[in-house]
Amino acid sequence: MAQKYRIYINDNTLFITHELPTQLEKIQQIEVEGFDFELFYEKLQISKKKNYLLLTKNPSAVFKKVKSDLTVIKAAGGLVTNAKGEYLFIFRNKKWDLPKGKVDKGEKVKEAAVREVEEECGVKVEKRNDRICKTYHVYKMGGELILKRTSWYHMTVKGSPKLVPQVEEGITEAVWIAPHEIKAKIKNTYALITDVLKSEKLV
């Protein structure tokens, strides 16, 4: 099966896939031949459309080309459950989020995921399970286009420990959320976080 990619750029989404995504929202198809990501990014600043599509028989090759024009930063995070079956959410930058952060030099991605969860929420991870998915997010920093590739892992903790939000990282709340409360939280979150939750069939 051909690989599919979804890149988030502010409130816009760029799909790189071999077939039309099944979704209700309008999507604008872009010509793959001669596609220039930097030019595309600049035009997004004046565009009101939110979904764009690069339709290709070889999504991996097109994604590789896009990636080669950007600075890639590796990040990792966790979808954490406690003994009650509740999920760990944080509130940062006025949105609900999941704990995540950059991978340090020489650090393994899966180890970074655990470290970030423990640092940002003041908990001890008991078990890290398989990777759930990867998400891609593009933003500009210091005049440079950055592609943040985040690997997400499912994790568990013992009991239902008290959470301590890492305030210096801009986290104002860290809370345990019951599965039936998740839908209310995703009304104020990022599309890529919704993707992680969808991968686990939570929304």
Residue 42 in tokens: 């600049």
| CATH for 73-199 (3.40.50.920, 3.90.79.10, 3.90.1150.10, 3.10.20.740) | 3.90.79.10
Write down the domain spans for the chain: 5-68, 73-199
Q: Residues 99-135: pLDDT tens digits?
A: 999 999 999 999 999 999 999 999 999 999 999 999 9
Alpha helices by DSSP H, 19-76: 37-44, 59-68
pLDDT for the residue 24: 58
State the pairing for strand pair 127-141/144-156. antiparallel
Residue 2, pLDDT above cutoff 60: no
Task: Tell me the whole-structure pTM to 2 decimals.
Answer: 0.92
Q: What is the mean pLDDT of the chain?
A: 93
| Three-state SS at 87 | strand
Q: Residues 73-91: pLDDT tens digits?
A: 999 999 999 999 999 999 9
In 10 A of CB 198, how many CB atoms?
Answer: 13
The amino acid that residue 34 corresponds to is: G
